[in-house]
Structure formats: structure tokens, C-alpha cells
Structure 1
Amino acid sequence: MEKLMERLNTAFDLTDDLVKNLSVQDLKLTLGDLPSNTIGEQIWCIVGARESYLQAVIHNEWVGFSCSLNDLTTHSSVMYSLKSSSKACIEQVDSKDLNDTQIDYLFTLLEHEIQHHGQLIRYIYGNKLSFPKSWNNRYAV
């Protein structure tokens, strides 16, 4: 369990590092002519997954997807949602013993976050943006 929490913290920190270096204009970028949503909408999905899987852990069952991040037009709103969703996950999970179902939800959350990292790498390359040092170290981008 300790290793899982370490990996979740690392994934959350990497996401924060990437987004804090993006501008509000960057959050509106897509992958050009390819079918894609915006970088901000990728972040919306990350926040929603964090919040939704946290609810699944709390209730010991899937209760549906929801996301509190409603404002993708201000950088501070996006960063606040990232920070508060990661903090809520870590605090809730650190405070209790979890069963196998709850641990599976956390592994799925970790997989989801990392899948978005892969997608965000394409967005950063596709829009000729730069990666923070933490991403260079972790993913050799």
C-alpha cells in the first residue's frame, strides 16, 4: 500500500508540474487537425477521475463520474482543482485501512492518471511547448 501511495503522489506531482507551466492559452490547445479535445479538457478528466475514484473508495463501490472543475478559463481555478483533488485522495486513503476493492480503485486511478500523461506528452510535442524538468527526468522527453 505504501508503494501505491508513493506512485500516486508522484503521478499527481508530475501532473501539477506540467500544468503550472502552462498558460491559460495553452489550456485551449488541441492537436491541430487531429481529432482531439483541449489540454484543459484533459485536465478536467484527470480531476474528475480523482474525485470519482475517491468517492468509489469512500463508498466501496462505483458511484459515477463527476467533476467539480467548471472553469477552464483561469489558471488558478485549474491548479486549485488539481491540488485539492490530489490532497483529498491522499488524505482520505492515508487515514484508513483499505480492502481489495478500494485498492483496485486506486490502481485504476493511477493507471488513468498515467494514461493522461501519455496523452499530454503528445499535446506538448504537437504544440511545440516545453516540458518541466520533472517530466524530462521521469519520461526522458
Structure 2
Amino acid sequence: MRQTVLKHIFQRFDSMLELVQELEGSFLGCKLPIPANKSIGEHMWCIIGARESYARSLLKGSWAGFECSLQNSSDKVEIMEKLELSRLQFTSAFESVEDWNQERDELLVHLLEHETMHEGQLIRHIYALEQPIPAKVKWA
């Protein structure tokens, strides 16, 4: 089951990267006219921070708190770099774990849920902006 969860996590990672690659950079700051709305860039801040935080948590074996290294949620180049770097951090973390247990498996599932939730929100956001959805985006 762990390998299935990891496969889906990496599919979501690919999807997010393709989404940012294909999106016009000017759309990163766009918000929809609804309450409690984040811009696409703000979603990316949360996604990158979660990947970095779950990587640290996997190494620790329990939740280690949330931190995000993304400084500018409107900078497409920085977002793409941080998406790639957070993927590498996560990959390194899960490859380093020798003692897999229920808590670490739960962390994997929580990360997958987080990525999937944001992907769904971003699909709706991009449709509302009348922009194309990349082919790797599973739920569109």
C-alpha cells in the first residue's frame, strides 16, 4: 500500500509542476471573487511548505511543524524551483527512512490528501480564470 500512496504522491507532484509550467505567470496572483480565497501562488506556498514539512516529519517520525521556504508566491521561477526542490527533499526523506511504522504511513497519506485537495481547488480556480488545464492534472 505504501508504494501505491507514493506513486500517487509523485503523480500529484508532476501535476503541480506541469500546472505552474503551463500557466501564464501573471495568473499566480489572481484571486476569485469569493470569500476565503487564495491566489494560485498562495496555494503553491502551502503546497511547497507541506512537502518540506512532511519531509522533515518523515525523518523525525512524527509531525515536526509547518515551514515554507518560498519567499515570493508571485514568482513563477521561484515556485518552479521550490516545487522541484521540495520533491527532492521529500524523495530523500522517504528513501532515508528505515523504520517504517503506522505514524510515518499516516504522514504519507496526509500529504497525498493535502496535494489532492489543493489540486482540486486549483482546477476550479483555473477553470474560473478560463485557462487550459494541463494533461497531467488527473481530476480535471
- Normalising by structure 1, we get a TM-score of 0.91
Contact 1:30 1:37 in 2 (8 A): yes
Contact 1:48 1:66 in 2 (8 A): yes
The number of residues matched between the two structures is 137
Query: Secondary structure of the equivalent of 2:136?
Result: helix
Contact 1:5 1:90 in 2 (8 A): no
Q: Over aligned residue pairs, what C-alpha RMSD do you find? A: 1.2
Q: Deviation above 4 Å: which 4+ runs of structure 1?
A: none
Shift, 1:49, TM fit = 0.7
Distance 2:78 2:118 in 1: 19
Q: Deviations over 1:81-115 (max 9, x none)?
A: 00110121122212333211111111100000000
* Residue type at the aligned position of 1:118: G
Distance 2:126 2:50 in 1: 21
What does 1:97-136 align with in structure 2 at a 5 Å threshold? 97=98, 98-135=100-137
Q: Deviations over 1:36-67 (max 9, x none)?
A: 12110001000011111111111112221110
Shift, 1:125, TM fit = 0.9
Q: Name the structure 2 match of 1:10.
A: 11
What does 1:48-87 align with in structure 2 at a 5 Å threshold? 48-87=49-88
Gaps spanning 5+ residues in structure 1: where? none
- Normalising by structure 2, we get a TM-score of 0.92
Q: Name the structure 2 match of 1:43.
A: 44
Q: Name the structure 1 match of 2:34.
A: 34
**How high is the sequence identity, in percent, across the aligned residues?**
34
Gaps spanning 5+ residues in structure 2: where? none
